[in-house]
Structure 1
């Protein structure tokens, strides 16, 4: 049968039952449009969640974890070397939170060709003073330039310039949730109290909004120097080293390597966000 006759027959059948043809066409159009919309929504949701995690999470984090010593005193006594020792209620040993020899570690990482960038960080637990009320909070001391370069810090700063943290001493970018509770505006001075009981006045130069409301109610950012001043620590006091790699898949292997070399705890992004990756995989399958 010629192709011309096929089209003629199809046109005749469609014209003979025009209403049914229209209903079928509308149904197919609606179904395809709904499928495309749903697919776009799922892709957008994955991109949003991936951005929240990947933009703000280092591929490898170096830090000193607070935990009991792997070797207890009885394990060091040769008399009980062949015994099985059962110890209960083991408490963490007195360990320093800061990373020892941080300058040499940063220098070593800067020469590693697998590393895209390094951003030192420290966290100070503090209270935001609101009259007689104290609000719990965390102030993150960051290297402003590296934080913006590696973690898109400027994308989450609203109503302010993130570089003001570096250019203005005793400045702070507070979470949007904290600002709403304190009725703080840009340029205001807020009082914070450290866990040691020291009070400081910090100038608000902007607001931080991550998109996670509970996080924005407690978290704020300051420069490394300001945060070290709050804690009364020297300029070498660093509790975290955040590392971004050229290839994120290599993070678990490199983390184990750094743990052995630098004698610190190392956490890779795959381990830290295992549940999130499972959720992303499930949404992708759907």
Structure 2
């Protein structure tokens, strides 16, 4: 098969210097494999944390924000200053006015996949002389399950039992352990207003979040309203799920235009978590970039040394009619071959590392290590490897193209 003179010369250089070629390719291999492994690990943990996060928080939340006391009179001019001594919260009720009308308006937007009302109530769980402070979420349990996938967190019991019983309660694993409760046991709860009810435990859940499992419970929404001594239209929050959680901020800004209540997306309320994810991603990319730069310098040094050793050969090629572009093609092709070898081995090694770690069991609630094959990570790794390889090969290739055969022959 006729590969062309330029290709044959490049292959000759590659195969006559196998060890140097392998060393250069191994630098690319290490860089790509570590990038794939670490980026898959970071994205795996991010995906896992998102899934766990959305088991307890909505994509978008609508609620009544606390209001602070305002000045009794306004400043008359720009030189006047109005002071408030010890401003206080003046919010009289947390309830949303006409909540179901607002809920219907929110559901009309195409990007809202589901929406549900919720009534939060501060509780004390009592069993004998033992008492635990917690938060009861008054919900329509089937709607809440569609939004938060509560069923996946259930250790025992049934969601349907809560839907059909106003005196039923589903409690967190931590609450059950602290109060020594099991299914079908009775649990006395007391609201912050002093309303007391005896509930039957029909379910126990575990989200894997210790603080949540030791405080949260699910009640029928009508039961939560009874504990607060309010009517059936008393709703404290509206929870929304959207089709693209990463665009929650954009959607929240659009929804804010139709209501005076606070519309908050999960990205805003969890800005510290997202900042940590971005920092880890930047650190991972920086480490991979540093490794790839080392690999690129390896390729550069090998090709530069090859050019130095083969100045006579290059002079002869140019004297026999090879142009500067031909010389550039030869050495860039050598860098390309090294890059292909290193990239192929790097992708294989990265896939092997991901496969090994994905089979490591770390225990509940995580289960197996949250690392997954991601096509975008492998694609970026391959592009990264080839780009640095070609860049490292082009610089010495240009040096070879500028060789003056007359000067070489004189020496």
With the length of structure 1 as denominator, give the TM-score of the two structures: 0.82
Deviations 1:120-141 (A, max 9, x none): 1111101011322321111111
User: 1:47 maps to what in 2?
Assistant: 47
Superposed displacement of residue 250, structure 1 = 4.1
Distance 2:76 2:35 in 1: 66
CA contact (8 A) 1:66 1:95 kept: no
Cα 1:59/1:35, change in 2 over 3 Å:
closer
User: 1:222 maps to what in 2?
Assistant: 219
Distance 2:108 2:36 in 1: 47
Give the secondary-structure state (helix, strand or coil) at the position aligned to 1:85: coil
Q: Does 1:126 align with 2:123?
A: yes
1:99 aligned residue (77, 96, 102)? 96
Q: Does 1:231 align with 2:228?
A: yes
- Structure 2, unmatched stretches of 5+, are 1-7, 23-27, 285-411
- Structure 1, unmatched stretches of 5+, are 14-20, 22-27
CA contact (8 A) 2:71 2:82 kept: no
1:179 aligned residue (163, 166, 176)? 176
Give the total of aligned pairs. 270
Kindly indicate which of the two structures has a greater share of residues assigned to strand: 1
Give the secondary-structure state (helix, strand or coil) at the position aligned to 1:81: coil
Q: What does 1:238-257 correspond to in 2, within 5 Å?
A: 238-257=235-254
Superposed displacement of residue 179, structure 1 = 0.3
Superposed displacement of residue 228, structure 1 = 1.4
CA contact (8 A) 1:56 1:152 kept: no
Superposed displacement of residue 102, structure 1 = 0.8
Larger radius of gyration: 2
Cα 1:118/1:30, change in 2 over 3 Å:
same
1:272 aligned residue (269, 276, 282)? 269
Superposed displacement of residue 147, structure 1 = 1.1
Give the secondary-structure state (helix, strand or coil) at the position aligned to 1:214: helix
Distance 1:32 1:257 in 2: 41
CA contact (8 A) 1:106 1:118 kept: yes
Deviations 1:150-190 (A, max 9, x none): 22121112212222210222111101001001110011111
Give the secondary-structure state (helix, strand or coil) at the position aligned to 1:106: helix
Distance 1:126 1:252 in 2: 32
With the length of structure 2 as denominator, give the TM-score of the two structures: 0.58
Cα 1:56/1:196, change in 2 over 3 Å:
closer
CA contact (8 A) 1:166 1:223 kept: yes
2:76 aligned residue (52, 60, 81)? 81
Distance 1:207 1:105 in 2: 32
Aligned CA RMSD, in angstroms, stands at 3.1
